[in-house]
Amino acid sequence: MKRLKKFYKNNRIYCILMLVSLLCFILMGSAVVIYFIHQASSSPYGPRLDHIDEYPAKEEVKNLEKYFNDEASSKNATARIQGKIIYVTVEVDSKTSLEDIQKMAVGSLDKLMDDQKAYYDIQFTFTRDGLPAYQGSKSSTKTVITWANYDLSSLDITTTTTSTTTSKKKK
């Protein structure tokens, strides 16, 4: 104990600085731990989904899926909710025109109630054999579906044939 008192007496400033720095390290460490624990325990969407219970849409999403599966030009359709977005993926015949796809999507909006259309964003993806996906989205703040730029003229959709004849090797 005498050695400790003697050390403190000779190095008083260093001892005080060490205690202050130790206290700072403890405060910084606890702040980091609290920050990461709070992030792990909170929702990944933050406060955006606070009122989602007021707008249940499970039955309507099933009705959307049924609507697209009942359409003559669709082969397979899935619909799911993730956060505030309803994702609809539909596989259609390759002969289905873009206008028919758009009419199908607009008609599907009748399956949702007005307050659900005003709360959820809707993402449509239509796939066709051999063609890129045709995508559209409806924002909760808008009343129309916005379609992605879809230009088939920029695609090289030519088929190439290969010759099956063989030629002799030249020496």
Q: What is the pLDDT of residues 72-114, one digit of tens each?
A: 888 899 999 998 999 999 999 888 888 899 999 999 999 899 9
DSSP code of residue 168? P
With tokens 């206008």, the residue in question is 99
Asked if residue 42 has pLDDT above 80, the reply is: no
Percent of the chain at pLDDT > 90 equals 35
DSSP code of residue 144? S
Q: Is 53 exposed, middle or buried (0-12, 13-18, 19+ CB in 10 A)?
A: exposed
pLDDT tier, 161 (very low <50, low <70, confident <90, very high otherwise): very low
pTM over 0.75: no
Higher-confidence position of 23 and 83: 23
Phi-psi region of 120 (alpha: psi -120 to 50; beta: other; left: phi over 0): beta
Three-state SS at 79: strand
Asked if residue 38 has pLDDT above 60, the reply is: yes
**Mean pLDDT across 121-134:** 89
Angstrom distance (rounded) from CA 40 to CA 110:
38
DSSP element (H, E) containing 123: strand 121-128
Higher-confidence position of 40 and 85: 85
Asked if residue 160 has pLDDT above 60, the reply is: no
Cα 57 to its chain centre, rounded Å, is 18
Nearest residue to 120 (alpha-carbon basis) of 128, 108, 103, 133: 108
Residue 85 has what pLDDT? 93
